[in-house]
Chain A
Amino acid sequence: MADILEKIKKNVIEGRVDYEDEGFDGDMEGQPGVLELVEKALEENIPPSDILNIAISPGMNEVGRLYESGEYLIPDMLASAECVSEATKILEPLLLEGENKSRGKFVIATVEDDLHDIGKNIVTTLLRGSGFDVHDLGTGIKADKIVDAIEKSQAKYLGLSALLTTTMGHMEEVIDLLKDKGIRDQVIVCIGGAPISEDFAQKIGADLYGEDAFDAINKLGNITP
């Protein structure tokens, strides 16, 4: 059992989602990746919680350490986060009640009139890799639809992204609507995007400003379990 869990952890660290991934040196294509190994581990009756806690989470922790030390860059983090995200999709339904160690529900969207999503997609991948249950609404989403999603999912976290000075004002609309609905205190609102700043976040009453995806994840880490 230890062997396959070790292989899963190694492939998480190397960011190999599946057998098609050629790995760092380009010669790993055909070798099982995280998805194949997780399936194999389940076939061998290894508990899903063991796969998560002994292989996947430690693997991602190591990736975080490598990133902090400068040995890993963003592409490495994203590749590993994608492994975790995809493995979690398989394992979550199989986890027993109480074993699911999701860090919480997160709704994320790019605001109305804004189609940009690269930053949002990076944050989504990293959030899933960090154990959040993320519901990505997509781009150009109106305030009422965002608030509706929060109410329906009972999500504790909301992420809003905007890349244009002309669209960033919609973020304040979302926060005002949360207040109107009486649920503002139940949601931690994080905002980000090129024109956004700490000053703007304070002005509109957001809880967190992320300068980039990693800043956001780090700040969330300071306030979430």
Chain B
Amino acid sequence: MNSKFKEGTLVKPQERIDLNQIKSLHNASLSLLKDPGIICFNKHAAELLSQEGCSITLEKEANNKWRISFPEKVIMDAIESTPREVLLGARNPDNKLLLKSDIPRVYFGTGSETNIYLKSDLNEFISKSDAGHVISMPVYIKERGSVNSLCQSAKLCNNLTNIDFFIRNVNIQDAEISLDNKDVNVFFASLMYMTKHVQAGLVNLERLDDVLKMAEIIAGGADQLKNNPVVSFITCLIKSPFQMVDDTTEKLIAIARKGVPVVISSSPQGGSTAPIEEEGMTALINAEILAGITLAQAVNPGTPVLYGAVPVRARLDTLHDLYGAPEFIHYNIDCIQMARYYGIPCYSTAGAGDAKVPGLQSTIEKVYSQLTIAAAGAQYIHYAFGLLDKTNVFCPLQAVLDDAHIHIVRQILRNPDFNDKNVRDSVKQIRHVIDSETKLFARHIRKAMRKGSVSLPYPFETQEEEDKVLVNAHHHLYEILNGDDERLEDDKINQIYKEIPGVLPGNFFKLEN
């Protein structure tokens, strides 16, 4: 078995709240889970949690609505049985991820399921006052998400070196896509061009087995899939505040039974479905995630889960999500610390913003959260690449920019390589240079250069007095899109077509350079 996994970035976690505050929030969550408890619309879950020791009250039988009160012991027993580490596999096993709750090794990846694929095209613009002054700028073209754009996105993201995992980031809206065939086509399009871990939600529970069968084919068999789980799932079973919805809860139960890694996610909006104050938001979202984790462990003790925090704030003029707000960062750091307190690997959120096109606003909004959330030590940071207009748009050009910026974030946060030998070597170097004719340290930095511990300049910089960042990034984007891909092997493709119903014909997945 290949025991290698991706290096990620090891950080020294920055903490926002202290242990007393963490315990206070923990107690607040437990208190809420006891009273008022969770409103549950899924009968299965109510029965399972009842067997665990929760108190279940039927609210309105006609609407299948139960109130579940969680005793502290039930929650704590579930946390105890939750694995401290989660392995996420990959088509290329060297791209596996090992998420350990006590190790702040940060991985970055994509997400959400966007409706718009925003392409860019370079145009020339001539100054009205000086016809000789011409600049190039991208113009943007909106396309509805499709199987082909998901394939293109997967190819791009496979080649962006700072992307560690791929959450399907395009909502495939081709006319041929239905509730019945969507899941198999989402996973097939992603896995066709992606050799890193692939994750998505499940639209239709009845296709779970087909998706897992596809994963088995790619991994090389059922046993191989166990050791190298190339796919995993996201479940957002709580509709904030505190309502366990029927269909997603049923999906979590089925996925947990299979023992496949699963994200227990919650996404309350501060100011509408959660308090806007930090302590209220964290107490609420923490309770919701704990409820989902407790259910997963009730189904199958030892189910590998990620503590999935996606808190966001509302903007107060429209109640839409406001990702560029500092509160977004506060909420997420608090959740990362809660996850660490429980010993559960954390799925966190960074890199989403409100800007609609790549540029100054998008960079500021994204880099602030990419840097601070990574600095807090979340193991698995999603949303980090390509998103615009909250989570409505995936823009390949933005993804290229995010890749460059996250590289810088990684460099900023990497741990110091500091030991007594290095200090002694530095003293020797300083003495040598002081005694030299040139008094220059430049020649002594070659080892550090080649070790990769010396950062390079901004990759899209321009020498002229004109901002060509977007132009240079655009050229880099098309170098990647026109370059080679790591398409799935033909024999596996053929086997998938033979054994998995509903996969669209090959032309949907063909990429034109």
Contact = CB atoms under 8 A, between A and B. Distances in A.
Interface of A: 15, 20, 22-26, 73-76, 78-79, 82, 117-118, 121-122, 124-125
B438 interface: yes
Contacts of A26: 447, 451
Given A25-B450, A73-B449, A121 B438 contact: yes
Contact of A75 (B432, B438, B443): B443
Nearest to A120: B438
A117 B436 CA distance: 14
A75 B443 CA distance: 5
Contact of A124 (B438, B445, B446, B449): B438
A77 B282 CA distance: 55
Going nearest first, the 6 A-B pairs with the smallest beta carbon separation are A79-B443, A121-B438, A75-B442, A78-B443, A26-B447, A78-B442
B442 A74 contact: yes
Given A24-B450, A25-B450, A75-B449, A122 B442 contact: yes
B449 to A, nearest CB: 6
Nearest to A76: B446
Nearest to A28: B447
Nearest to A122: B440
A24 B447 contact: yes
Interface residues of B, number: 14
A75 B439 contact: no
B176 to A, nearest CB: 46
Interface centre among B432, B445, B446 (most CB of A within 10 A): B446
Contacts of B447: 22-26
Nearest to B456: A73
30 contacts: A15-B443, A15-B446, A20-B432, A22-B447, A23-B447, A24-B447, A24-B450, A25-B447, A25-B450, A26-B451, A73-B449, A75-B442, A75-B443, A75-B446, A75-B449, A76-B446, A76-B449, A78-B442, A78-B443, A79-B442, A79-B443, A79-B446, A82-B438, A82-B443, A118-B440, A121-B438, A121-B440, A122-B438, A122-B442, A125-B440
Secondary structure class of chain A's binding surface, majority of residues: helix
B449 A78 contact: no
Contacts of B446: 15, 24, 75-76, 79
Contacts of B442: 74-75, 78-79, 122
Contacts of A122: 438, 440, 442
Nearest to B447: A26
Interface in B413-466: 432, 437-440, 442-447, 449-451
Contacts of A74: 442
A91 B442 CA distance: 25
B459 to A, nearest CB: 13
Contacts of A75: 442-446, 449
A76 B450 CA distance: 11
A26 B450 CA distance: 10
Contacts of A76: 446, 449
Contacts of B439: 117, 121
Contacts, number: 42
A78 B440 contact: yes
A24 B451 CA distance: 9
Nearest to B446: A75
A37 to B, nearest CB: 18
Nearest to B445: A75
A185 to B, nearest CB: 32
Interface centre among A15, A22, A75, A79 (most CB of B within 10 A): A75
Nearest to B451: A26
A21 to B, nearest CB: 9
Contacts of B432: 20
A121 B437 CA distance: 9
B151 to A, nearest CB: 32
Contacts of A20: 432
Contacts of B437: 121
Contacts of B440: 78, 118, 121-122, 125
A202 B451 CA distance: 44
A26 B448 CA distance: 9
Nearest to A79: B443
Contacts of B450: 24-25
Contacts of B444: 75
A76 B447 CA distance: 10
Contacts of B438: 82, 121-122, 124-125
Nearest to B432: A20
A119 B447 CA distance: 23
B446 to A, nearest CB: 5
A25 B446 CA distance: 9
Contacts of A117: 439
B281 to A, nearest CB: 47
A20 B425 CA distance: 12
A125 B441 CA distance: 13
Contacts of A25: 447, 450
B465 to A, nearest CB: 15
Given A25-B450, A78-B442, 5 more contacts: A26-B451, A75-B445, A78-B440, A79-B446, A121-B437
A14 to B, nearest CB: 9
